[in-house]
Structures are given as C-alpha cells and as structure tokens.
Amino acid sequence: MCFSMLGLPVSTEVKKSLPKEQLYRQFDWKTSQRESFDGDVSRLNFVNWISPRSLPALAVGAEIKEIMVVEVTLKHRDFDVRNIELLAKSIPQRIVYVLRDGEEVRIAVYHTKLFMTDWQFLTPDSSLLILQGLDLDAVWENIVAKIGNFEIEEQNTLTEQIVSNEEHDKLERKIRMLESKISSTRQPRRKRELYLELQKLKHKTHHDSKRN
C-alpha cells in the first residue's frame, strides 16, 4: 500500500479547495473574525478523506462515519489560536487540521477543546497521522489522545477523560499557587490556614489518581 506525506494511505487523498469566502458566508462570521482569520490563513484545502470507502478495512463507528483532513496554509507562524478554534467550531465534522508554515507543520484537532502538536518538519517519510482502531470511533479517539498527549482510562469516554484531565490540571495550578502563597506569607496563622488548604488539595489529587 502506498502512503501519502502524512503517513496516510494514498487511497485517502483528495484535493478540494475550501474557499475562505465560502466559510464567511456559510457561518456568518463577524467582520472582525473574518479580518483576523484572513490575516493568519492563506488558504484551506481538504487533503484526506478517511472512511470505509477510502479504507475498506475500516468500519464506520456508532457516531463517526468519516474523518477529514484539512491543510491550513498559514501566512505566518505566530497565528492566533482563536482563529483555528473558530474554524473547528464552525464546521460540524470530525476534522484533523494540518497547520502549515513552509516545510513545518503542527497537527491540530478539536474535541471539546483544541489540541495541537509542536512544530515538526514534513519529510517524504513522515508518519504524522497514524490510524489506530477497528472503526472510526476508535480511530478518532486515538487521534485526539495522541495529539493531546494523554491516555484514555478504561472507564472513561474520550470526553470524560478530557474533563478529568482539565479538573486535574486546575487542581495542580491551585496547588502551585498555594505553595507560592505559603512561601511568601509571614503571618503564622494565615500560613497555617493556607497549609491546611494545600493538604486538602493534595489529598484530593492523590484520591483521584488512585480512583483512575
């Protein structure tokens, strides 16, 4: 089987332009949104179509029937992430975005929030998007988890895992903030109060990690 630049089978390749003006009209973006998006993005193209028709060994999922790959050619590297979020939220499909700046790319995907990889060079033997799973539901879950750099616990759905990860991250930020406050507080009573609050948070993170 031949493979394309992203590491996807050539049978999934398509070449279809997605005009920006079409997006603006269809989704009724505000003038400020259009101007910001146009300032960051040069052009958009559908480049891969992942479905049982392009990959017969892959089954449809209970929820997902196809996954598209869209190449987003950027005008500059310091783009506004909110423009990619707006694009992803506007199109009601499962899409993987290849954000391209010259010969370097970032892979992005949106599932309740935006996940992106670091910049990486695109070479002839690149395998930036590996399809894992027997059906499209599983393939999508694995794509999001890979790009988001997390694992899905056995008892969780993809969405539940993302929520759980966000809650854990919030607790960790609170812990770091309290530790900073404790180190800068001079009043013994206040220091004690903060310390007790810190211990409660640490106990909660320990309990959550054991449960997971």
State the pLDDT at residue 39. Answer: 97
Distance, in Å, from the CA atom of 186 to the CA atom of 140, rounded to the nearest integer, reads 51
- Pick from 14-23, 42-51, 174-183: least confident: 174-183
Residue-wise pLDDT tens digits, 66-86:
999 999 999 999 999 999 999
State the pLDDT at residue 19. Answer: 95
pTM of the model: 0.82
Residue-wise pLDDT tens digits, 39-61:
999 999 999 999 999 999 999 99
State the pLDDT at residue 212. Answer: 53
pLDDT band at 2 (very low <50, low <70, confident <90, very high): very low
